Amino acid sequence: MAKEKFYITTPIYYPSDKLHIGHSYCTVATDTMARYKRMRGFDVKFLTGTDEHGQKIERIAKEKGVSPKEYVDGIVKWVKELWKLLDISYDYYIRTTDEKHINAVQKIFKKLYENGDIYKSSYEGLYCTPCETFYTERQLVDGKCPDCGREVETLKEESYFFKLSKYQDRIIKHIEEHPDFIQPATRKNEMINNFLKPGLEDLCISRTSFKWGIPVDFDPGHIVYVWVDALSNYISALGYGSSDDSDFKRYWPADIHVVGKEIVRFHTIIWPAMLMALDLPLPKKVFGHGWLIIGGGKMSKSKGNVVDPKVLVDKYGVDSIRYFLLREIAFGQDGNFTNEALINRINSDLANDLGNLLSRTVGMIDKYFKGILPSEQKSNSFDSEIINTVQNTVKKVEEYMEKMLFSDAFSEIWVLVRRCNKYIDETTPWILAKDENKKSELAGIMYTLAETLRIIAVLISPGMPNTPKEIYKQLCIEDEYLKTWDSIEKFGNLPKEVKIQKGNVVFPRLDLEKELEELETAMAKAQSESVANKKDSKENSQKEELITIDDFSKIKLKVGKIIKCEKVEKSDKLLKSQIKIGDEVRQIVSGIAAHYSPEEMVGKKVVVVTNLKPVKLRGVLSEGMILAASDDEGNLKAVTIDGDIKDGSEVK
């Protein structure tokens, strides 16, 4: 029988900077769904890519002294490496600078124009450059961009307009008649009440004030609006409008567009209107997930609170990170990211629960049966309950996965993992092992554990593609069928004579304090390297960036006298100093504990940056920075004053 198709997409990312763990979250979730559907026998097409045009990219490239294409090429290379590291199994990577995409967008624009859905007029509006979006007065929040909170500017130019208003009623009708179209349901109400019901205005879809974009081929001074360019990727990637549109015929409409909540609007209003105008079917579902929040706000480069996914994967392995993202945050809602929560999850769920279950099972088969179970096996009074639990788990996981409720799916699998650990305690194999007559009962227990572990390995594999390989290896499972989803619909497919091969501890336990310290350092290093990379453009690699005296005078430096100093609790690196600077006393936290004892610091006159934004380090407020010099060998010395001068004196 021919396989049913399943087309799933992530948003295409802006390569305006390197991607952070928030972007990875969306891609890992989409990848998990794609892997699940493949395992369920679908012919999956999983699309991701990059959204490479726009004024912002043009500006960044200019600042770096490279062409926009050179700039995005570098970031795209980095993004592809990241997806490889995270085991993202995409089938196609679309770049909006691809010839194929550019041609498709030009065709789409022309078709809309010829159909009378686009007209020329002039536009005066409020534009947010970072978001590349025009807003109406009433959409602004406190006069600022409703999405990013930044200033907007008034812009007037001759533009093409898309008759979005014409499609308003049809879109409302579609949303109401297709309850699954927007998921989760709360996002549907938001779209209807906040955007559609108040009335849609026609959309300005071309720009003339910059060049880095797709030109309107019949009016070359105009550049296609980035969102029209970007949204078209979902069909241009399938060959829409090209001589080979077989993929388009096979896979369109998309089964799911996975997007972040702030761009649901573009995918459920503008995109459907474009498709209606092109007379194409609408995607079946748009799933708007929540944000990864860090320190109370959305993780974003501009807030300086980004977490580098490569650092995390290097340290803890890809499956730990994927598991954490999928389990910790309910897909659809916002969720907090903290290093502490990550390490705690690795310790409790992966090391303690799953890792232990595997090593105990393999260890006991090795110890009591020299590594091979006899075929003569007896069941015990707990078995039927375990088998029932396994079968229920499989059913529930399937239901949750279909709805993209990954956290619920994993939570259900872990109920089973913990149940198995409890089963070991209930059946007390170590006591049975002392009695020759109980050997077949003991073998039966070991079989139940091994078969359940195999089923667990299959269940986790869409989200954690590597751990199952280790489980199969230790249980000597080579038959590919036993790794398929079909094989877990029934308990007992594993042949009775289970063999084992002792292996590595799959998830070693982590020391929380040590890991937190190391992570902080690794993140700071990655951050500074990425700042260093920034300088690595054509122009800047040859000479250091120069600043003017005005730039320098922005930094306020003063002499401060340390009057008290102590260690920051639970940290090996940080000292907390009270520093008298003229009439005021400030608290400053510095990473110098490895170089100075608190006693050594007291009495020193140091140079302090006094107009630095206050931050919290390990929860302790720091209102400035003590200057220090460090060399390649790891030596560090505070900058002190030569001779005596009053604290509070300015350093210039």
Question: Judged by CB under 6 A, how many residues of this single chain contact ligand MSP?
Answer: 20
Instruction: Identify the DSSP state of 372.
Output: B
Cis check: omega of the bond before 11, within 30 degrees of 0: no
Beta bridge partners of 94: 49
Among 6, 7, 8, 23, binds ligand MSP (CB under 6 A): 23
On whether the CB atoms of residues 415 and 396 are closer than 8 A, the answer is no
Whether a cis peptide bond, with omega within 30° of 0, leads into 253 is yes
Q: Which is nearer to ligand MSP, 22 or 463 (CB)?
A: 22
Considering the complex, what minimum distance in angstroms separates the CB of residue 293 from ligand MSP? 7
Shortest Å distance, C-beta 51 to ligand MSP:
3
Nearer to ligand MSP, 27 or 590 (CB): 27
Strand partners, 160: 120
Residue 13 or 369: which CB sits closer to ligand MSP? 13
Question: Cβ of residue 77: shortest distance to ligand MSP, in angstroms?
Answer: 17
Site for ligand MSP in 130-159 (CB under 6 A): none
Would you count residue 230 as binding ligand MSP (CB under 6 A)? Answer: yes
CB of 104 to ligand MSP, least distance (A): 14
State the minimum distance, in angstroms, from the CB of residue 480 to ligand MSP: 35
CA dist 595 → 524, 592, 600, 641 (Å): 19, 5, 10, 18
In terms of CB distance, is 86 or 365 closer to ligand MSP? 86
- Alpha-carbon dihedral 332, 338, 344, 349, rounded to 10 degrees: 20
Q: Is 342 in the site for ligand MSP (CB under 6 A)?
A: no
Strands (E), 524-611: 557-567, 575-581, 584-590, 605-609
**Only segment of 291-299, 520-528, 542-550, 599-607 that touches ligand MSP (CB under 6 A):** 291-299
**Nearest CA-CA partner of 403 in 183, 571, 198, 596:** 183
Residue 22 engages ligand MSP in binding (rule: CB under 6 A): yes
- Give the list of residues 6+ apart from residue 430 with CB closer than 8 angstroms, or none: none
Q: Using the rule CB under 6 A, which residue among 204, 228, 259, 413 binds ligand MSP? A: 259
d(CA 393, CA 416): 7
User: 198: number of CA atoms within 13 Å, CB side?
Assistant: 10
**216 and 222 Cβ atoms separated by less than 8 Å:** yes
Binding window for ligand MSP (CB under 6 A); candidates: 11-19, 163-171, 368-376, 643-651: 11-19
Using an 8 Å Cβ cutoff, are 147 and 133 in contact? Answer: yes
**Judged by CB under 6 A, does residue 292 bind ligand MSP?**
yes
Asked if residue 263 binds ligand MSP (CB under 6 A), the reply is: yes
Locate tokens 């069928």: which residue? Answer: 481
Rounded Cα gap, residues 439 and 623, in angstroms: 68
Find the shortest distance in angstroms from Cβ 299 to ligand MSP.
Answer: 4
Q: Which of residues 483-502 bind ligand MSP (CB under 6 A)?
A: none
Closest approach, Cβ 113 to ligand MSP, in A, equals 21
26 contributes a contact to ligand MSP by CB under 6 A: yes
Stretch touching ligand MSP by CB under 6 A, among 23-31, 199-207, 237-245, 339-347: 23-31
- The distance of Cα 162 from the centroid of its chain, to the nearest Å, equals 33
Pick between residue 298 and residue 561 the one whose CB is nearest to ligand MSP: 298
Is residue 184 within the footprint of ligand MSP (CB under 6 A)? no
Please identify which residue in 6, 7, 13, 369 interacts with ligand MSP, judged by CB under 6 A.
Answer: 13
Binding of residue 14 to ligand MSP (CB under 6 A): yes
Q: How far apart are CA 337 and CA 305, in angstroms?
A: 11
12 binds ligand MSP (CB under 6 A): yes
Out of 51, 52, 247, 623, name the contact with ligand MSP by CB under 6 A. 51
Parallel, antiparallel, or unpaired: how do β-strands 206-207 and 182-183 relate? Answer: unpaired
Smaller CB distance to ligand MSP: residue 290 or 624?
Answer: 290
Q: Is 61 in contact with 15 (CB distance < 8 Å)? A: no
Q: Which is nearer to ligand MSP, 262 or 517 (CB)?
A: 262
CA 493 to chain centre: 36
| Residue closest to ligand MSP, measured at CB | 260
Least distance from ligand MSP to the Cβ atom of residue 81, Å: 17
CB of 238 to ligand MSP, least distance (A): 14
Considering the complex, state which of residue 19 and residue 593 has its C-beta at the smaller distance from ligand MSP: 19
CB of 291 to ligand MSP, least distance (A): 4
Q: How far is the CB of 313 from ligand MSP (least distance, A)?
A: 17
Examine residue 231 and tell whether it contacts ligand MSP (CB under 6 A): yes
Q: 309-316 vs 512-534: helix axis angle to the nearest 10?
A: 140
Residue 339 phi, psi (nearest 5): -60, -35
Helix axes 309-316, 21-39, angle to 10 degrees: 60
Closer CB to ligand MSP, 39 or 231, in the complex: 231
Q: How far is CA 438 from CA 40, 90, 442, 490, in A?
A: 40, 51, 6, 27
298 binds ligand MSP (CB under 6 A): yes
* Residue 299 in the binding site for ligand MSP (CB under 6 A): yes
Q: How far is CA 505 from CA 356, 363, 415, 498, 635, in A?
A: 8, 11, 21, 20, 37
DSSP 352: I
Which spans of this chain sit near ligand MSP (rule: CB under 6 A)?
A: 11-14, 22-23, 25-26, 51, 230-231, 233, 259-260, 262-263, 291-292, 298-299
